[in-house]
Amino acid sequence: MLERLNTESLPRLPADVEKPLYDRSRLTPGIVHLGLGAFHRAHQAVLTDLAMQASGDLSWGILGVSLRSAATRDALTPQDGLYTLALRDGGPDGNTREQLRVVGSVLRVMVAEEDPNAVLERIAYPQTRIVSLTVTEKGYSHEPATGYLRWDDPDILHDLENPHRPRSTIGILVYGLALRRERGLPPVTLMSCDNLRGNGDMLRSLVLAFALRVDVALTAWIDTHCTFPNSMVDRIVPGTDDEDRQRITGRLGVEDAWPVVGEPYLNWVIEDKFAAGRPAWETQGGATFVRNAAPYERLKLRMVNGPHSTFAYLGALLGHETISQSVQTPALRDFVDAMMRLEIAPTLKGIPDSGLEEYRRRFLARIANAALRHPTPQVAMDGSQKLPQRLLDTIRDRLRTGDDIQRLTLAVAAWLHYLRGVDEQGGRYVIQDPLAARLAKLMSRADVAARASAPSASAHRRAMVLASFKPVFGELGKSPEFVEALATHLETLREHGVMHAVEAAT
Q: Would strands 29-34 and 288-290 be described as parallel, antiparallel, or unpaired?
A: unpaired
**Average per-residue pLDDT in the chain?**
96
User: Residue 148: is its pLDDT beyond 80?
Assistant: yes
Helix axes 330-338 and 306-317, enclosed angle (nearest 10):
150
Residue 51 CA to residue 62 CA, distance in Å, equals: 13
Neighbours of 209 (CB within 10 A): 17
Q: What percent of the chain has pLDDT over 90?
A: 95
Q: Does position 1 have pLDDT exceeding 80, yes or no?
A: no
Contact 196, 297 (CB under 8 A): no
- Residue 157 to residues 17, 119, 160, 162, 405: CA-CA distances in angstroms? 48, 19, 5, 9, 39
Handedness of CA 212, 213, 217, 222 (dihedral sign): negative
CB 175 within 8 A of CB 420: no
Domain boundaries, the chain: 7-291, 294-505
Average pLDDT over residues 48-74: 96
Distance of CA 109 to the CA centre of its chain: 20
Give the chain's radius of gyration (CA, Å).
23
| Domain covering 294-505 in this structure, CATH number | 1.10.1040.10
Burial of 505 (0-12, 13-18, 19+ CB in 10 A): buried
Cβ distance 270 to 287 under 8 Å?
yes
d(CA 209, CA 101) in angstroms, rounded, equals 41
Provide the β-strand partners of residue 33.
64, 132
- 232: nearest Cα among 86, 88, 43: 43
Mean pLDDT of the region 303-324: 97
CATH of domain 7-291: 3.40.50.720
Q: What pLDDT is attached to residue 286? A: 87
pLDDT in tens, 79-93: 999 999 999 998 888
Give the angle 392-396-399 at the CA atoms, nearest 5°.
Answer: 135
Element of type H or E holding 439: helix 436-451
For 223-259, how does the pLDDT look when each residue is reduced to its tens digit (9 = 90+)? 999 999 999 999 999 999 999 999 999 999 999 999 9
CB neighbour list of residue 164: distance below 8 Å, 6 or more residues apart: 116, 117, 120, 175
Measured in Å, how far apart are the chain's first and last C-alpha atoms? Answer: 56
